[in-house]
Structures are given as C-alpha cells and as structure tokens.
Amino acid sequence: MGTVYVTQEDAYIGKVDESLNIKADKKTVLDVPLIKVDGLVIMGRANISPAAISELISRKIPITYLNVNGKYLASIEPDMGKNIFVRNAQWKAAGESAQAVHLTQGFVRGKLKNYRQSLLLAQRRYDLDLNSGITQLSNAIASLEQAKSINSLRGYEGAGSAAYFGCFNQLIRVDNFSFSTRNRRPPTDTVNSLLSLGYSLLRHDIQGALNMVGFDPYLGYLHTERYGRPSLALDLMEEFRPLIVDAVVLAAINRRMLAPKDFITEPVSGAVSLTKEGLHLFLRLYQEKKLSKFKHPVMQKQYTYQESFEIQGRFLAKYLLGEIDKYPPLVMK
C-alpha cells in the first residue's frame, strides 16, 4: 500500500481496531490495515484523531501536511533515531570536507547521468535530435571529477540541469502541453505544476527514509543550511528526480491520462494546479511508480523505488561512517 494520501476536504482520519479509517460525509471512503501503511500525506484540511496520530507515530509512520496544491507545510515525525553516530558523522562532514565534496559529486553525478539517460532513451524512441543537450550533460558530468569545491559542483549541476530542461519540451509528445522553462513558487503552467507537485511528494518520501536511517534531514551538503529547509532530503532527491517524478509527469502527459481540463489557473497570480480528479490520478501514478520494481545496480536484487530511498540512505550512512569508501548514487542504465 505504501503512502496514504488524503485529499478530501473535511475528511476525518481515525483509527478503528488495527486499521486507518478515513471518512467523508460520515461514510467510510477508505479502511486500510495499519500494517500496510508507511506514510500518511494530508492535503488540505482533513482532520485526524489523536488516537490515529499516536498509533502512526508509535509505528514510526510520518504524517505530512501539504496544502491543496501540494506545497509542503509541516510534518509530524516519529522520535528521531537514537543513532547518534550517524548524526555525528553527518555533522562532522558539514561544509567543504572531503566527504561533503564526494557526496555532492555523487548526488549531482547521479542526477545528471539519469538526466542524460532519459534524453538518450527519448532520442532513440522518438527519433529526436537531442545531441546538443546530451553533449552538454556529458561535459558537465566529465567536469565533476575535477571539481574540488562544492560551489563549482553546483555550477556544473546548474549547467547540466539547464541542458536537460532545454530539451524537456521535446520529451512532451502531445500538442496540448508544452514546457519552456522551469518555474515555481507558484508554478504558472501545467507541466511545472506537475513537476512541483511530484518533487514535493518525493521529498516527503526521501525525508521519511532519512529519518529512518537516523539522519538530521536539515543538514545537507549540496544544499546549504537554511531555516526550515530539509537540505539532506533535497540532496538525496537529486538522483531520483528524473527516475521517478519526471518519468511520471511525462507518462501522464504523453499517455494522455491528463488533459488541460484537469488543471485550474488561479486569477491574478496565475498559479496552476490540478483539479481534484487530476490530483487523484497523479497521486495514483506516483504511487504506482514508487511501488514498481527494478534491479538495483549495486545490490543486484529487485527492489521497489520506495525501498531504494532507504537503501540510498543506508549507503549514505555507511559512507559517512567509513564502512564503504564511496557513495554510489542510483544510476540507471
């Protein structure tokens, strides 16, 4: 089952025996055994009973609040792990340490390689010419090895991302959607609104995995400290963005599962978001993607993407604790 998303305004989330029970208009809309739940996301203003909160927390299941557009608001997290060694190693590596540089290199390399792989696949599949973007990505990837500072790595990350998003419109294979440039806060077109929503969901999942491993999600390496920003979650998200979110967004659009009628534009601000039906569909697709299996290139075993969040978190801890001498970002062929 994985994560339960509650999108119904004024829904009531309660605990009935060993299950999570969600009611709307006094009728049960979902009753799911707690053993199958590993996350709860509340979008909008649903209510949750104290009994449900304490049961979820005692099962170490995080509760995340998003607004109706998917913007992150807050979360109720189980007690942080007792693994002081992990947090100690995480903080010791803060700043410009050799470990921080290595990890940042890994996060960026993972993301850019996965970006390039997406472009290569699309080029073949749709018979496109994406060579200039692919070359720019390859150059950025090659430069990462020589980069000695985190700032220069950020530079290559920026260049690589720009190259990828420069091609993104060509990955959209239907007429009624288009992409020109990444915009957010708020996203002002349909494709950006989907990307933003997807990244918000992904970040909730990665942050949950990092908490489980024992990290402090607010101290990152590629992303610097800023009040209220879970930098380490944003760091670890990088390698997963194209694999999960971009893939889901493109599938939803190209397979015509979403149409422009599934979006609403706010007056004045121009903020674009999904309708309720569109949101349900997107959440289902995201959930299906997370639960899909793939062969983990390092472990050589089948895992779901959901499981791989934790595995990458474990690798991160192992690297920082000196158990392994390099961090292997998830790079897919």
Partner 1 sequence: MKNTEYIQIAALNQYAYCSHRCWRMFCAGEFTDNQYTIEGTALHDRVHTTGDIDKEDTWQIRAIYLKSEKYKLIGKSDLIEVVSGEYYPIEYKRGRKGEWDNDELQVCAQALCLEEMTGQNINIGYIYYAHSHQRQLVEINQELRDSAIATIAAVTNLLETGTMPPPSYSKRCKGCSLYSQCLPKAFDKLRNYQEAN
Question: Which residues are at the interface with partner 1 (CB under 8 A)?
Answer: 81-86, 113, 117, 213-214, 297-300, 310-311, 314-315, 318, 321, 323-324, 326, 328-329, 331-333
CB of 326 to partner 1, least distance (A): 7
What DSSP string describes 44-70?
SS-EE-HHHHHHHHHTT--EEEE-TT-
Closer by beta carbon to partner 1, 14 or else 329: 329
CB of 58 to partner 1, least distance (A): 13
CB of 12 to partner 1, least distance (A): 30
Closer by beta carbon to partner 1, 246 or else 262: 246
Closer by beta carbon to partner 1, 293 or else 326: 326
Let me know: does 134 contact 120? Beta carbons within 8 Å. Answer: yes
CB of 127 to partner 1, least distance (A): 23
CB of 94 to partner 1, least distance (A): 20
What are the start-end ranges of the H helices in the chain? 50-58, 84-92, 98-126, 131-144, 150-171, 190-213, 231-237, 247-254, 276-290, 305-320
Query: Which amino acid type is present at position 117?
Result: Q
In 3D space, the residue among 279, 269, 223 whose CA is nearest the CA of residue 70 turns out to be: 279
Query: What value does the CA radius of gyration of the chain take, rounded to a whole number of Å?
Result: 20
The contacts of residue 155 (CB under 8 Å, 6+ apart) are 147
Closer by beta carbon to partner 1, 264 or else 321: 321
Closer by beta carbon to partner 1, 86 or else 252: 86
